[in-house]
Structure formats: structure tokens, C-alpha cells
Amino acid sequence: MRRRLLQNGEVLRDAKLAYATYGTLNSAADNVVLLPTFYTGTHLRNEPLFGAGRAIDPARHFIVSVNLFGNGYSSSPSNTAPPQDGPRFPNVTLFDNVACQHRLLTEHLAVRRVALVLGWSMAAMQAYQWAAQYPDMVGAILPYCGAARCSALNHAFLDGPKAALQADCAWNGGDYTAPPEKGLRAFGRVYASWAYSHDFFADALYRELGFETLEDLVRDWEEDHLHWDANDLIAKIWTWQNGDISRNDIYGGDFPKALRAITARAIVMPCRTDLYFVPEDNAAEVATMRHAELRVFDSPWGHCVASPGRLPEFEKALDEAAAELLRLRHESTRAVVQPAPQRKLRASCQGLCRGSRRSGT
């Protein structure tokens, strides 16, 4: 994309959007399932969401898994050259992300219409963003454990791990010479406390993840965040905290208007015990949207119930919802397709995410 003008008027130089595709685009160019990435997600972490015989199947769908700016694959503080490296990386909104994803789909992949956008957490926020930003292009959305905007509670929570990381003297305003390990560990520890629920901790469900003690669990979160670039984490927190489908020239901050503009069919799936994105906010959104249904999933696993491949019962509910939305899409023709190898557009090789038993957020 070379130079990308952002919402704030800055230019993101030599912008790169990394992605992977699976399956084949049909002749109508409308069998597309778009999978954005979540906060610590990558296109690889999205792979448990589809497969042979699943609701989303590369034999029937053209699946595009696209990486969020700041995640170490697409343009990020960790892989961008001066003068936009590290803490000088510009603030990028979800609107900016979706605008670039739209260019990718329409200009590079020749997509005419998106059958379904689905995702968890920040990926759910992007599903809402797509439906509001390009309502005529999106047939259905399936946002789960996410919201159409970052709530005040969610914003305040995110300030916690951010402050913990930046309190490390090695942070040095983002111009660190070595990773701020103490800050990254503190970030992971603070983050873990919100990721599940009261019942999860009270009933010691972390033992189902293979941890004997609570301390074992939070230490794993510490270790996992050591593998992330600190500036990347901070950049994505800014994106998350400023997420709002109405904060743009299209809607001028009118949130109900943005929700009413969504014409896509939607199944919104919060978790009853999610502390990041509470079901009450989703209920208010669904009440304003035209073709939306609220399905609250009851589980003590909180936000992490939706971690890809984590709980079979949630995966089953998600597959059922995706299958229902995709059945509603009328296909005039059925192309004969074969799974295609992964392809990437100017993908960065930096910021690789290691998997862990806690599976990220």
C-alpha cells in the first residue's frame, strides 16, 4: 500500500497488511469469510476456526485471515523503519484497519461481497466496524466476546496492564535498548486477572489447563507476554481503547445511528461472565440493530471461553451460529474448489507469537 493516510491525518509509510487465504474465490466473488485478528492474535491463531466439514470450510469458502496493524505481522512499531519505529508509530484506528482490509479484498483479491465476518474480542470489534463502514458489502457478522465500541470499564481495565508495563524503568518511553522484562511480566499478570471470571478462580478451573496453582497460571501469562514487543502491545491498546464504529466522518459520533446503519444479519455471542465485554452492552447494541440476535453463552471461563480451540462446547455453539448465518446467504452457483496454500501480501516475519495453554486474548 506504500503510503496510507490515517484518520488522524498522519501518513503510515510503506504500510504492509499481512494476511493468509484458504480455499478459492467462487465465480460470483461472494463466498468470502473474513477473519480479523484479536489482540494477541495472528492469522495462525485463527486456523482453529475452520476446517473440513466445519461451518467454515475451505472446500466451500474463500477464507481471508488478516492481521491487525500492530501485531508484528502487519505494519507495527516493531517492524516499521524510522522515523515511525517504536513509540513513533502512528496511532491507527479500527476504521483505518478496516479501510485497508477493504482495499485488500476489493483491489487485490477481487472480492465483491463478504458473506461473513466473525471474530473474538478486537476481531469482534472489527466485525462490527466492517458492517457499519461497508454495510452494502457485508452479508452477516458473528462478533463474540466483543463490542461495537470500547466501554468506559474496558478502557479503564486496559489502562492497568499498560501502566504496569510503562512503570518499568527499562521502558524508557518506548525507546528501550532491551525488552522491558519486568514491565512485560507485570502486564501479563494484570491482564490475567480479568481474562476469566470469579467462578473460574473460585473453582480453581485453571487446573483444567494443567496448572496446579493460581501462581502457575499467572506466571504462564507472564512468560507468554515476554514474547511480545512492548511497543506493539501499547499500540494495539490505543487501537482497542479508541474503538467505536461511530467515531468517523460517516456517523459523526452518533453511535445509535451507526448501529442502525448495519444491514448485515448478526448473531452476537457474549459470554455471561466476560469482564472485558459485558453482555449488557451487547444487549443494548442488538436492540438497536436491524437484523441482530443476542445469544449469551453461559460459562465460567469469562473472556477466554472464546480462545480458538479452547472449549469444544463453545466451538460447537460458534459453528452452529456461523452455519446458520451462511445458510441465509443465497448462492446462485456453487463452485468446485480445492483448498489453497497460505498466501501473504508483504507479510512481516517479525513479532512471531508463541502459543501457550492460556491461548491469549
What are the residue numbers of the active site?
121, 274, 303
Q: Is the dihedral of CA 232, 235, 241, 244 positive or negative?
A: negative
Strands annotated E in 102-151: 114-120, 140-144
| Residue found by looking up cell 491507527 in the block | 92
| Residue found by looking up cell 499500540 in the block | 235
Distance between CA atoms of residues 231 and 208, nearest Å:
32
What phi and psi values does residue 149 have, to the nearest 5 degrees?
A: -155, 160
| Residue found by looking up cell 470500547 in the block | 150
Of the candidates 71, 123, 62, 96, which has an alpha carbon nearest to the alpha carbon of residue 308? 123
Q: Is the dihedral of CA 219, 303, 359, 237 positive or negative?
A: negative
